[in-house]
Amino acid sequence: MTATAHILASGPGWRVSDIVCTAGPDDRAFEEEHPQHCIAIVRSGSFRYRSTQGSAVLAPGSLLLGNRGACFECGHEHAAGDHCLAFQFEPAWLEGIVAAVPGARQAGFTQAHLPPLPAFASIIAAAEVAADHPECLEETALRLAGAVTSLLSGAKARTEMPSTRDQRRITRALRHIEAHCDEALSLDALARQAAMSPYHFLRTFRTLVGMTPHQYVLRTRLHRAALLLRRTGQPVANIAFDCGFGDLSTFNRRFRRVMGASPSAYRGA
């Protein structure tokens, strides 16, 4: 089988890869083994997937599910090629999500796949967009794993207000972002500082703040940049780097998208 995998992003306990397979009807399927728990979004193409959890024909929008150490085969008897976005998780990482989902019992999947369900349409689209912005993939990995775990466990969505203790922890994270938005602020690091699991931190943060931690960090950086553009004569490049953006093109693109004008035009308005 001819497949190439390109790692887009990774962190403690997780990894996201873009996988392109060019196998066709003349290529023999062979047995492989999942090195980690896996949720793979089928982006295009179709193929037959068989694992110890069952078998199915997967099409765009389907989710391939695999457990660490489980054997599987992918076959292309009827058409050539497919393109997947694969999220792989260490057991301990997935266990942190299971602990936060009511009704979930184990860090693993009881079936081989999920069909293109309407409930996953939004998060699948967000994941494909995030593939172009690797800094967003950590949050996407948590959201996807949490959604799959919740569906398989039959858990009902909860809307109650976070506890006073969790509100205090999120407030501490907000203050930290405000004071250090120019530094690298990964979701995992923010969650550890708040003494929360990454999944619980992400879910609680979104409930209280109305956006994800990454979105809030970006908002804080852009707000600070906007003030500096209007209040100082610093070069745009200096402002971009001082506010935590790694390169000028990324800063220009995001500033224009949010503020409706380029940094230079915004400064002169």
The number of angstroms, rounded, from the C-alpha of 210 to the middle of its chain's C-alpha atoms is 17
Same domain, 67 and 22: yes
Co-location of 80 and 51 in the same domain: yes
Report how far residue 249's alpha carbon sits from residue 252's, in angstroms, rounded to the nearest whole number: 5
pLDDT recorded at residue 211: 87
Average pLDDT in the chain: 90
Question: Do residues 172 and 130 both lie within one domain?
Answer: no
Q: How far apart are CA 146 and CA 22, in angstroms?
A: 31
Point out the residues of the chain with pLDDT beneath 50: none
Same domain flag for 172 and 200: yes
pLDDT of residue 157: 56
Domain-located, residue 43: yes
Does a structural domain hold residue 158? no
Instruction: State whether residue 33 is helix, strand or coil.
Output: strand
Asked if residue 126 belongs to a domain, the reply is: yes
Pair (111, 10) in one structural domain: yes
pLDDT at 154: 78
Judge whether 180 lies within some domain: yes
Domain that holds residue 230: 218-268
pLDDT of residue 186: 92
Do 138 and 245 lie in one domain? The reply is no
pTM (two decimals)? 0.80
Tally of domains in the chain: 3
Going by DSSP bridges, is the β-strand pair 82-89/14-21 parallel, antiparallel, or unpaired?
A: antiparallel
> Has residue 71 been placed in a domain?
yes
C-alpha span between 130 and 127 (Å, rounded): 5
Do 64 and 185 fall within a single domain? no
